[in-house]
Structure 1
Amino acid sequence: MSAATSIEDRITVSCPPSDEETAKLVERIHQIGPVLREQAVIADRNRVLPQETIDALDFADVWRVSTLKRYGGYEGGASMLLEVARTVAYYDPAAAWCVVISNGSVMLINRFSDEVLDEVFVNGPIKAASIFAQPQGTATPDGDGWRISGKWPFASNSSQSDWALGILFIKENESVESQQVGFVLMRRNEFEVQDTWFTIGMRGSGSNTMVAEDLWVPKNRVITFEQLMGNGPEQDPHATFGRRLTPHLTMSTSIQSPSLGAAYAALDYTTDLSRKRAITYTHYKKQVDSGAFVQNLGAASIKIDAARSLLERAAAEIDAVASGSAPMPLERRARHRAGIGHAGHELVDAVNDLCWLHGTAAFAENSLLGRMWRDINTGTRHASITAPMGYELHGNGMTGTDYISTKL
């Protein structure tokens, strides 16, 4: 669908898509599941998603979850993205990571002006990338625009993105005091992608480094941190649902979903093979003959379910709040941040338990379980979802002490 070109065409919605729409997306993902799983091995080896994976995800329609309805998207919230990414991750966690980052980046872009959005989505939904952690660039005034220089590492999905966001310092003048944090929105042909992503997990995410040198962009493609990440749109009763989503908490919740889907894949893999594998140095001809094995398999399953419940709780409240115009209180955000981090710990513990149960074969180079172990242990370490910081944020809310971060 082509983009809206007039104010009258700019559809505004007040709530997330229906469960039925999400279910249809999930069904299409399962249809492409065999392709995703086959190509996941290639993605892991080459450290970037193969074109076959991207084409399959195009077919499944997962890239437009966060695109506003006025531009042909679902205008989905946290729950839709969580469920979609969890399902993709069952077949390929790195592909799911790219789906999350692309849609999360679109969610951030949605906070730019209507004029910018009409340009970005002129041909409909896009693929996107973003870095919103530490400022790693500068925007300096230059005529009717800005001169941009910056280097943004760990930019997942950058290779196949159409547009990307980079966090930087806005330098209105030479005074250090006048600098403020902001974001630049760049077309794919305006930045270079340097091949720097060498890891043991989430390798297929292609989280390389974006670089812009002496790039000129128009004035409206740089906005402040407060405009992009603040709660102004969350209080606007006239804003469309996709703009009222609280950005950081939505990203944190959905970024944990690839590890959730990977954990379910690891669980099913271990369970299926337990009917065929013996337990070395014992009389057990099949792992399922061992009561200890069966008990610990059940325990691992419940850890994964517990993680899912915490993430679904956060996603449901995010969507409910975005359906109104009263921002979520900080103490609730902090509580969810702790729950998201705790979910990661549960997922890591569960996949570790599964590797103990399955045996040394889990760490064969071609083992699906081993790849899930690597992806989960890498993905859950993302800075926005680490448990220690989440626990402390929650403790801040409980005790009334100063929050250790303003990114809630």
Structure 2
Amino acid sequence: MQNLIQKMPDTAPQDTVAHLAALLPTLRDRGEETERIGRLPATTIADFEDAGVFGSLVPQVNGGSEVSLQTYMDMIVEIGRGDGSAAWTAGILSGAAWMVAMLFPRDVAQEVLAAPHSRVATVLSPRSIEAHEVGGGIWIEHGVWNFNSGAHNAQWNLLGFPLKNHQGLPEILTVLLPIHECKLLNDWDTFGLRGSGSTSVEVEDVFVPRSHLASLSAVMKGDFQSVHLDAVPLYRLPLVPFLATKLLFPSLGMAKAALELALASASRRGIPFTVYAKQDEAAVTHVQMAESSAKIDAAEQILRNSVKALLSHADGSSPMDIPTRTRLMRDAGYVNKLLWESIDALATSSGSAFAKKDNLLGRLWRDAKVASLHGALTPTTNFELAGRVQSHKDPQSWFL
């Protein structure tokens, strides 16, 4: 297994992360526009295409750069330091391209991913669904999926839903659709992550051929259609723990940016109704900054440990066991808690200027709060999953 990890290609240019870091001022300057239009501007899409963001997790056989998971994490974190919505969207679109590669046979993946800068959106759980098997595939009579992040910037959509198989047992399926077969409902009107464009989508009277249908239930048991990638660990990562871990990369970037901004402003502002002409002269400020930075550092270390754990179970010899999967979900919930607590504390310490609509720390706070609400990152839910397994009980989750 160690040899497999060492041989994992990382063909992204050595300066890819530095390239994205250099975009930080530009992404911040575009923040207001990104929020206003409710999606990534064409200029940001072009910048990410130039940096190879959308092809970062695409296999080399499909023309992608197939970067290491560690490099991918660093890329999304750097984008998060510039703009939360941009990082969230970049993470969703690149992650969904990875899903297409690992879920489907080579010819289907090639159809979707071979086009330059192909972008795929995804939602794994529907709000409502009416679908049934027909000859040669699935007929979706009507379905609605909430929170389809990046759909405005995508050419394809990967949608999941439960359906009883021919044995009458529930199975989690995904269908791959051109985005034009999905009606974007444009109902994403939030106080944070507005630029992710996480609209609901509706699908009505659409036939999906069997070639564009994959079983998440099978993948979670180690049964992959993408047999041509069996020797590439990146495409044998445990699906749901990886997706939950990946969702936290933007928040880590936002937390790092919040700390930088708070430290910078503390040397310029005083504390009203005290003797402190500068906030950074006060002991309470030292405590707040140190505690927040400790939480951010701890969160980053846990995430990097999770990345190592994911790779260590990605040789395809056997699926990751349930205790390890639930531990990674527990850790994702805890990292979510740590990062939100750090950003909230830094914002609270920043004074009344934080309330201004154009305050950058305020935007980070809003984006981070909405990011923290994702169902896969809910601390109490994930703690319960792990606690049930630790107590030798069934986790009661279809996604594990």
TM-score, normalised with respect to structure 1: 0.89
Q: Residues of 2 paired with 1:103 and 1:400: CA distance?
A: 36
Q: CA deviation at 1:31?
A: 2.4
Within the alignment, does 1:403 sit opposite 2:398 as a pair?
no
TM-aligned CA deviation for residue 393 of structure 1 = 1.9
- Does residue 153 (structure 1) correspond to residue 135 (structure 2)? The answer is no
- CA contact 1:234–1:322 (8 Å) conserved in 2: no
Please say which of residues 231-240 and 64-73 is displaced more in the overlay.
Answer: 231-240
**Take 2:329 and 2:30, find their aligned partners in 1: how far apart are those partners?**
33
Give the direction of change, closer, same or farther, for the CA distance of 1:179–1:259 in structure 2 (3 Å limit). Answer: closer
Task: Look up the match of 1:46.
Answer: 37
Distance 1:323 1:152, change over 3 A: same
CA contact (8 A) 1:43 1:50 kept: yes
The alpha-carbon distance between structure 1 residues 401 and 337, as it changes in their structure 2 partners (threshold 3 A), is: same
Per-residue deviation, 1:389: 1.4
Closer/same/farther in 2, CA of residues 274 and 222 from structure 1, 3 Å limit: same
The 3-state SS of whatever aligns with 2:376 is: coil
Q: How far apart are the structure 2 equivalents of 1:51 and 1:361?
A: 31
Asked whether the equivalents of residues 151 and 212 of structure 1 are also in contact (C-alpha less than 8 Å), the reply is yes
Q: 1:234 to 1:257 in 2, by over 3 A?
A: farther
Give the CA deviation at 1:179. 6.3
Q: Does 209-218 or 87-96 show the bigger shift?
A: 209-218
Q: Is the 8 A contact 2:148 2:200 kept in 1?
A: yes
* Aligned match of 2:198: 207
Q: Identity percentage over the alignment?
A: 27
Aligned length: 394
For residue 301 of structure 2, give the secondary structure of its aligned residue in structure 1.
helix
> Are 1:340 and 2:332 matched, yes or no?
yes
Contact kept in structure 2, 1:77 and 1:319, CA below 8 Å: no
* C-alpha distance in 2 between matches for 1:178 and 1:232: 17
1:319 Cα deviation (Å)?
Answer: 1.9
Which of 182, 194, 202 is the matching residue for 1:191?
Answer: 182
Q: How does 1:10-89 map to 2 (within 5 A)?
A: 16-18=8-10, 21=12, 24-76=15-67, 78-89=69-80
Match of 1:100 in 2: 91
Query: How many Å apart are 1:13 and its aligned residue?
Result: 9.6
Q: Which moved more, 1:104-113 or 1:375-384?
A: 104-113
Query: Cα distance, 1:33 vs. partner?
Result: 2.0
| Number of the residue aligned with 1:127 | 119
Distance 2:172 2:318 in 1: 25
Unaligned ranges ≥5, structure 1:
1-11
Residue number in structure 2 paired with 1:5: none
Amino acid at match of 1:204: G
In structure 2, the partner of 1:367 is 359
Question: What is the distance in 1 between the residues matched to 2:171 and 2:283?
Answer: 60
8 Å contact kept, 2:340–2:369: yes
Deviation at 1:347, TM superposition (A): 1.1
Amino acid at match of 1:126: S
1:312 corresponding residue in structure 2: 304
Say if 1:405 and 1:80 are closer, same or farther in 2 by CA, change over 3 A: farther
Q: Secondary structure at the match of 1:166?
A: strand
Alignment of 1:273-292 (within 5 A): 273-292=265-284
Residues 221-236 of structure 1 aligned to structure 2 (within 5 Å): 221-233=212-224
Give the alignment partner of residue 252 of structure 2, picking from 248, 256, 260.
260
Q: Distance in 2 between matches of 1:234 and 1:372?
A: 40
- Determine which of 238, 249, 253 is the counterpart of 1:246: 238
Matching of residue 392 in structure 1 with residue 390 in structure 2: no
Question: For the Cα contact (< 8 Å) 2:185–2:201, is it kept in 1?
Answer: yes
- Assess if the C-alpha contact under 8 Å between 1:137 and 1:151 holds in 2: yes
Which stretch shifts more, 90-99 or 189-198? Answer: 189-198
Q: Secondary structure of 2:71's match?
A: helix
Greater mean alpha carbon deviation, residues 215-224 or residues 243-252: 215-224
- Equivalent-residue separation in structure 2 for 1:243 and 1:138 (angstroms): 31
* Equivalent AA in structure 2 for residue 155 of structure 1: N
Residue 9 of structure 1: aligned partner? none
2-structure distance, mates of 1:339, 1:347: 12
Asked if the contact 1:234–1:326 (Cα under 8 Å) also holds between the matched residues in 2, the reply is no
Partner AA of 2:235 in structure 1: R
Runs of 4 or more above 6 Å deviation: 234-237
> Aligned letter for 1:159?
H
Please, what TM-score do these two structures have when normalized by structure 2?
0.91
Indicate how the Cα distance of structure 1 residues 192 and 235 shifts in structure 2: closer, same or farther if over 3 A, else same. Answer: closer
Contact 1:44 1:202 in 2 (8 A): yes
Q: Deviations over 1:3-40 (max 9, x none)?
A: xxxxxxxxx9985444x848532111012222211112
SS of aligned partner of 2:15: helix
Secondary structure at 1:167 match in 2:
strand
Separation in 1, partners of 2:163, 2:108:
19
Residue 206 of structure 1 deviates from its aligned partner by 0.3
Residue 143 of structure 1, CA deviation = 4.5
Structure 2 residue aligned with 1:270: 262
CA 141–405 in structure 1, closer or farther in 2 if over 3 Å, else same: closer
CA distance in 2, matches of 1:381, 1:225: 24
Deviation at residue 303 of structure 1 after TM alignment: 0.8
C-alpha distance after superposition, 1:362-386 (max 9, x if no partner): 1211111111111111101110111
